[in-house]
Amino acid sequence: MIKLGISGIAGRMGKRIGALASKDKDFAIKVALESPDNPAVGKDAGEILGLAKIRSIVTSDFGRVARGCDVLIDFTFPDVTMEHLEIARKNNIGMVIGTTALSEEQVKKIEVAAKEIPIVFSPNMSVGANLLFKLTEIAAK
């Protein structure tokens, strides 16, 4: 089973990814992240997804919970993605990055990190969530 971290769990993409992951026995949502001021922080991620509780409490501190996941799916903001990238690199956690509006410098940092950890990076994930899950499975290996 692949232990997922979903950053932006209360957002449109985070909710969709979480809903799909919760229906697939190959995935378990172990880390759920949101910004510190988001009302989802402190709640069970299952509640945020409109599901039964899954015993994964939404937090804003990825550094504290990073080791709980194999792969972090990040559809947030450039600065947040860069923070998560560094934590993932230090903890040998794969990433799927769908963040848009990254600078050239930020993209280069992702490319460098991809030499150390598995990373799937595409600022346009419109091909569909099924592809996202396949890529997550590959990144976890």
Q: Find the domain containing 106 and state its range.
A: 2-140
Give the C-alpha separation, 87 to 66, whole Å: 7
Q: What is the mean pLDDT of residues 109-137?
A: 81
Quote the mean pLDDT of the chain: 92
Please state, in angstroms and rounded to a whole number, the distance separating the CA atoms of residues 44 and 78. 26
Q: How many domains does the chain have?
A: 1
Residues 6 or more apart whose CB falls under 8 angstroms from that of 100 comprise: 123, 124
Length of the chain, please?
141
Instruction: Give dist(CA 3, CA 45) in Å, integer.
Output: 14
Query: What percent of the chain has a predicted confidence (pLDDT) above 70?
Result: 93
Q: pTM, whole model, 2 decimals?
A: 0.87
Output the domain CATH number for residue 8: 3.40.50.720
pLDDT digits (tens, 9 = 90+) for 56-98: 999 999 999 999 999 999 999 999 999 999 999 999 999 999 9
Closest C-alpha among 93, 95, 42 to residue 66: 93
